[in-house]
Chains A and B, each alone.
Chain A
Amino acid sequence: GAVVSQHPSRVICKSGTSVKIECRSLDFQATTMFWYRQFPKQSLMLMATSNEGSKATYEQGVEKDKFLINHASLTLSTLTVTSAHPEDSSFYICSAWGGEYYGYTFGSGTRLTVV
């Protein structure tokens, strides 16, 4: 139980294009999902909190117009990196609370490379 599925696992895109990353809770409902970014050999840094049916809340320094979040249902949140640039290349991971037994469950992550 408490599985979070994330797609795609890897994506390479050209500079200036947009990329959409999907995060689904497979066997539980998640009114809130979290999006993290992780640079090589660094910790996970929270980017934004995705709320079902309402606007996402972004952490300081994260551009809301660049990282568009949509949480249209209780099981799906999407992160769209718009007008991607090489400095956006990173490992993006989503997470949702799976209960005390499973803790915050993470998706498998998306390795984004912008060329």
Chain B
Amino acid sequence: QQPVQSPQAVILREGEDAVINCSSSKALYSVHWYRQKHGEAPVFLMILLKGGEQKGHDKISASFNEKKQQSSLYLTASQLSYSGTYFCGTEMNSNSGYALNFGKGTSLLVTP
């Protein structure tokens, strides 16, 4: 099942904040966040495994709710380099042999 991402697109001015959401109708084993720039491969941002977990580095962080059905990615004090398409990928099972199922993506544009 493909996770649902929102919003579809966001335009920010440099320095503003954004939140991207990813939700599923069923409990997930994990949520993975990626950023992809045009014509390039997705770049891994972080993985969340535990209900209630919050993690991050620099000004990008994410949370995973207690029921493990919803995750949010937080971008604070956005920089021009944050522009790209953000995807959440979800695993339904614990076996790493299972591929990620990606949401449709959120296009983020940061303007000067």
Asked whether, in the complex, the Cβ of A106 is within 8 Å of the Cβ of B41, the reply is yes
Asked whether, in the complex, the Cβ of B100 is within 8 Å of the Cβ of A109, the reply is no
Asked whether, in the complex, the Cβ of A32 is within 8 Å of the Cβ of B97, the reply is yes
- Residue among A97, A98, A104, A108 having the largest count of chain B Cβ atoms under 10 Å: A104
Given A43-B87, A43-B104, A43-B105, decide whether A105 and B44 contact each other with a Cβ distance below 8 A.
Answer: yes
Give the docked Cα–Cα distance between A44 and B34 (Å).
11
Q: Which of chain B's residues have a CB closer than 8 A to the CB of A97?
A: 96-97
Give how many A residues have a beta carbon under 8 Å from the other chain's beta carbons. Answer: 27
Q: Which of chain A's residues have a CB closer than 8 A to the CB of B99?
A: 34, 36, 46, 49, 95, 104
Asked whether, in the complex, the Cβ of B101 is within 8 Å of the Cβ of A46, the reply is yes
Q: Mark B87-103, 1 if CB is under 8 A from A, else 0.
A: 10100000011011111
24 cross-chain CB contacts under 8 A: A6-B41, A31-B97, A32-B96, A34-B100, A43-B87, A43-B102, A43-B105, A44-B42, A46-B99, A46-B101, A49-B97, A93-B41, A95-B100, A97-B97, A102-B44, A103-B44, A104-B32, A104-B99, A104-B100, A105-B44, A106-B42, A108-B41, A109-B39, A111-B39
